[in-house]
Structures are given as C-alpha cells and as structure tokens.
Structure 1
Amino acid sequence: MREPSEVRRRRILAVVRSRGSVRVSDLAGELEVSIVTARRDVEELARAGKLRRGHGVARSLESAAQAQAQGPASATSDAVDGAAVALVVPERHTYLYETMHGARTVLDAAGIRVALHITPQAAGAERPLVERALADGARGLLIAPRWRTVAEEEAGHSWLAGLDVPTVLMERRPRRGSVLHAMDSVCSDHWYGMHLAVDHLVSLGHRRIMLAARDDSPTARALRSAFARIAGDREEVEDWAVVLSASASEAGDASGPAERQGAGDASGPAERQGAGDRGGPVSGDGLARLLRERDFTAAVLHGDVDALMLVQQLADHAVRVPQDCSVVAYDDVVAAFGSTPLTAVAPPKAAVGRVAAELLVQRLTRPGAPPQRTELLPELKIRGSAQGPRSDRSTV
C-alpha cells in the first residue's frame, strides 16, 4: 500500500532534522520512492517553511541558519561538499574537449567531483545521459549539446528548460525569445571571429572571398550566417560565396543547402556548389573549380581539420596555398601542424570551459543571481597560409 504523502513528508523532516542535510536522491532510496516524488515532497516542505531546499539537497532550518551565521566560506563549503557535476560533451569533438579540460580545472580546484558523460552521435542522445546523471545525484550540469540540425536544437530546448539543477550551456547560444534565452550560457563570439578572418583577408588586398563550412552544429550555422552578413556588408568585397564543405557529408549531412550567391546580393538565386556537385557538399575538386570559375583569391575554411584536408586536395588540383589561394582556417585545433601552417581564428576554447565552470560554481554556492549570457572573443593566429593576391590570376 502506498504511503500517504503526509506520512512520507513527516519522515523526510525527521531524517533532515537528525542529519542536518541529506541528498534528495538518498531520501528517495530510503523512502523507496522515485527521485521526482522525493523532490516534490522537499519542495512542498520548503514552501511550508519547514526546511531549506538546496540544489539536490534538503537542509534543516538549524543547519542552514548556522551556515549563514558562519559566513560565505562556510556556505561555499557546504554547497560543494560531496557535490558532483555532470559534464556532457559530444564524442569525437576535439574542439569541445579543450573546453571540457578548461572546465575541469575550475571544478577540481573547487573540490567538486566531475562526472563526465560522452554523448554518441545519435539525435537526442544527451537527454537520457542527463537524466541518468541527475538520478545519480548530480547537483549541476555543464553541457554542450551536439544539435546537428535546427530541429534537434529546438527539440532540446523544452527538456533542458525543465531541469531543476543549475545548468550552464557551453558554446551554445539559444536563439532570442526561445525558452532557453534566459539560461546561463558561455560561448565564443563567432561573429567577431569571422570578422577577424574576413578583415585580415581584405587587409591583404583580397576582394573575392568564399567560405567553405560545415552545417552540422550551431557553431557552423553561426559562422555561415556571420560570413554572409559580413561579406555582404563590406564594400571592398566584390564577390563572395558560402558552400557546404564535404566533411559535413561525412558527418551525416549530405543534403546541405546550395551555395549562397555573392556579389553583394545575399538574397540572389542559389548556385550549384561546383560543376557536378548537384548542389551537394563541395570537395577539393569542386572547390578548385569554383575558385577558377569565380576567380576567388581567398577562402575561409571551417573547421581546421577539414581545412587541412581541403588544402591537400587543392594541391592535387594545382591550386597552391597561399600563392594561388589564401586560406584562413576556423577553430585552430590542428591548423598550425599543416605542411603549410594555416592562419586561423582561435576561439577561446579552454576559457569558455573555465568561465562556464566558474559560473556553475557561483550558482551552486550563491543561488538566485540573474542568468548570464557571456561571449568571449576569439583571436587571429597569423601563420603562412595567407598573403596578398597575385596580380596575374590566369594560371590558377
């Protein structure tokens, strides 16, 4: 027979008063109820003023008052004592692994145990991992959802917004007006990163610039949109185009959009992404043809692993970097290690993780502060892959 809620809540109060504080997950186990039920009981008792509710913890009024009287240091220690934070990042994502390591330095220093969860490439894989982490007692969440498509991103909004533990998004900026608009987030300012890339090429004298980018993450979509706006607004840029790089096909998105029209007309008719591509992702062969057909002298390539591969493929088609085509890579994970070290935009990957973790620690120790949406600025690392355009382009 199911125990009445009034009896169950009296038992919760007795346990909390005897121990001072107790994890909600432990209460659920002892009472043989679900974590959701235990959490609801704790919330009702907190509303009635009979205990204090923390993030995943119920505290007696006496222990909460004692911690407050002892000052901020005691409150911080109490909040992180025995805490575990779930850190969720996609598998095979070197870029976000640097962000992950930045976060761990802060959490380790704060004495917070990190439970790392690697999400597979399947759509919606984050949710069951997060639910399992919360069931295991995680008191906070740092997460970089994969969100390969806009539909996946929108599907992730509703359940993330319903979490009742402090959560900080890393390298993800929910669209304005969405249910996640007010969620804590820390990310790179990718508009500024693309501005750095285009501005550098323009300063070298390039007037015909293209972007070959993926379309399988929020970052990739932000870069494609930023490039179109920036190139379209620069009077010096005579022609520009955005094409889908072939690596997006390898990631499972072979049906990307056709090339966007340049020449100052972002809304003009779409073009094919190189002869024979049928509007699909462009490879080194298609990229070389497009460079010749449109007389582009420079390209921004995202990400830099793809950039190194495309530069190798361009060489196979007699397009030399930087003599025939200047290149700026985006990500700067391995750009420096190419046979021609690539000039690259370097988002502050580790710093994003550190700032996100610092924000999460604040939420654990000082709840109630307004949400923060923080952007950090990328840097441009100048190497050997970009120079001024040749005066004679007839042999490209």
Structure 2
Amino acid sequence: MASRALILIEGGAWGCCLFYVQAAKRLGLHPINLSANPAHHDFRAAGCEAIRVDTSNLDALIGECSRLRATHDIAGIICAEERVYATVGKLCRYFDLPGPNPVSIERCRDKFTQRQLLAEADIPIPAYRLAANARDVESSAAAIGLPVILKPAVGSGSVGVRLCRNFDEVARHTAYLLGGKHEWQSLPRILVEEFVQGPHYLASMMGNELIGFGTAEYGPPPHFVFRQLTFPAQLTDEQHECFANVSLSCLRALGLGWGPTNIELRWTGRGPVVIEVNPRLAAAPEPQLLQLAYGVHLITEHIKLVIGDEWNLRKTHSNTAAAQSLFPDLDGTLDYIDGEHLAAAVSGVAEVKFHVEPETPIVRKGDFQDRIGYVIAASPSLAETEAILQRAVDLINWSITPFPPPGEQNNLD
C-alpha cells in the first residue's frame, strides 16, 4: 500500500522545517521535501526525505510530484515560505488539492498592489509611493515627508528595508538597492513609505479566524528586526476590537482567508494602521509562542487544512509566552557561543536555539539573517515570563573577533 505523503516545498517558514516534519509524522504522514537547496534546511537531521528540484519552476515541480504519485498517495502539498507560496498554490490547483489562491498570494506579495487594495477598502495604511529610480525615490520622499521607509516592492524578512531620516540616507540606501548589491525577487521597484510610529502588534490568523495578537519590539533603527515577540498582547477592549475589525477587513480586501495569515499593525494617535499583510505562516519563533500561549499548534492545523482534515483553533490554556532574539554587536568571526544548556535549565524556559557555530563569519545585514539564536519562555503572567527570559538570556555568552581591516587582511594573505 502506498504511503500517504505530505510534500513540503522549501521546508516552510524560516526556522520551521523541523516542526513541519514532526507534525506530519504525528499525523501519520510521510514528509518529502522538494527544495532547490536541500542542505540549506538540514532535512536529514529532521528525518525527512529531500529531493533537489528547481522550486521556482512550476513545470519542474509538476513533473516531480507526478513521479512521486506513482509510488505515494500525495495527501497534500504545503509551504509557508513566501517566495514560492504562489507557485505552491498553482501546484495544488493542478493536482486538485486544497491550497491557497495563487492570484491573491501574488497580489499580496507585491507590497504596492497590496497597498492599493487596502487603500481602496478604506483600511488605514501609511502614505506610500512607488519609485523605479533615484529621482523618483527622492521626489517621493519629499512628497511624503521625512523620515521615510524604503523597501523593495517584493520581499520579506526585512531584507532591504531601512528607515531614512534625511536625504543623504535616502540617496545612500537607494544606491544600495539599485546598485547591484541587493538581490531582487522581482523587477527593481522601491516602495517609499511614511514612517508610522506607535507600538507594534502582530495579528495571527487562520482562515477567517483570529488566533490572537502579540507585541513586537524592534532593535535600534534604521533597521526593522524583531528583538522580542510576546503573546498575548496587553490590549484594551477598544484596541482589541479595532485590531480585529481591521485584520478581518484586510483578508476581505486582499482575497485571503485560506490558511495562515499574519498581519503587522501599529497603534497610533489615529487608531490602528496596517503596516503589512503576510499571506503565510509567520517564521519561528511565532508558531511556538502561539502553542505556549494558547495551546494552538498552528503548524499541525495548517497541515490538517492542506490534507482536507478537520482543523480547529480551540484554545486549551492561557499563558504569556515571549521570545528574545540574540543578535551580534559587531562583524567578525564567531569564537564561541555557549550557555545553551544553562539557559534551557531555567524553569519556565521552553526552548533555546542557536543558529551558528564557532568559526562562523558574522556579517550583519540589518534583516532576519542577523539573528544568531533565540530563547523562548512561558508562564502564567507577563512579569514572570519577562523575568524568566532575562535570567536565561543572561546565561548565554559569545565572543566575536572583528575582521581585520582590509589592508591588514591583504598583508595576512
């Protein structure tokens, strides 16, 4: 009898590969990953079969899935990585399997199109303009008013996103984005946005159901990298109602409502403002926080949806869960990183994860790739969770030897 297989495309959201594999196995499925670079996700360590495929090529994916169907019963095809999510939607439609609407995903991934659709639905968003060259960027920044945020029109993980406080910074970041150093996922187009200030919140949703709101704290500007995530957010009844209404309006405006969605918002003097709608599961550690805070295993429920099983988001408990990301303070070579076992032994710590090993070159980019690890803690109260998290983080140490200056490096060579 053919095994019931779940086809993973590129392993899921960043850092979630292992969780997808584990959840699939708990559901009695045989996970098989199709990836352009299987070594990147370390599927062997996760106990998952991996096959190299050009995942940007729909025909190549159809061919490989057709080959697998000869020996497996393909129960579903799943992905949470935004770059290939629309392609996965097309793949699901080809094989008549449940999946996201690829048209909605593509429109949402284009941040300019997303802005237009949200604006047409009278959903509060930052002022914005689209620019294709340096002159357009400068005139757009002048029209909106400094400071502004420059970001690629298509992208994720805060890659290429920067706060520009004056026109010199606008010019420098524009030159970086258009000068060949940034890897574009589409035609080079820059979104110039108003810098909306106020506390940052996250809405986690599945289908048309709201799971909960979390708070997000950034590191120092000019970058936008999450330092700490906490679920649930401490909201007033008014804030909760406003955020919930706006979040559901976003789904309707963008034609979403199938599978996971995460929405970034700020609470401002004029109420909620939608910063971005991401039509996919959020990357780790957000899924772990949802499970610890509410008892909702979102990855498992996502898989159930994909294979056509009944899913539910019933909350089984109420805790406060928080994650602290670990970031290096300089570029160089990592000498050591330790304290993992000591931190993990602190009562209330749920997970300690390092992404790097000694001798790893550290080059900060100002996006999600800078994170070298994280710590997750949970307890019945916010104050207790924050105290647990701080005790654990204080037990972690690392050392980085700065790279030698270019001249000295040449002498060493």
Q: By percentage of residues, which structure has more strand?
A: 2
Q: By percentage of residues, which structure has more helix?
A: 1
Q: Would you say same fold, with TM above 0.5?
A: no
* TM-score, normalised relative to structure 2: 0.31
Q: Which has the higher contact order (CA 8 A, sep 6+)?
A: 1
Q: Which one has the largest radius of gyration?
A: 1
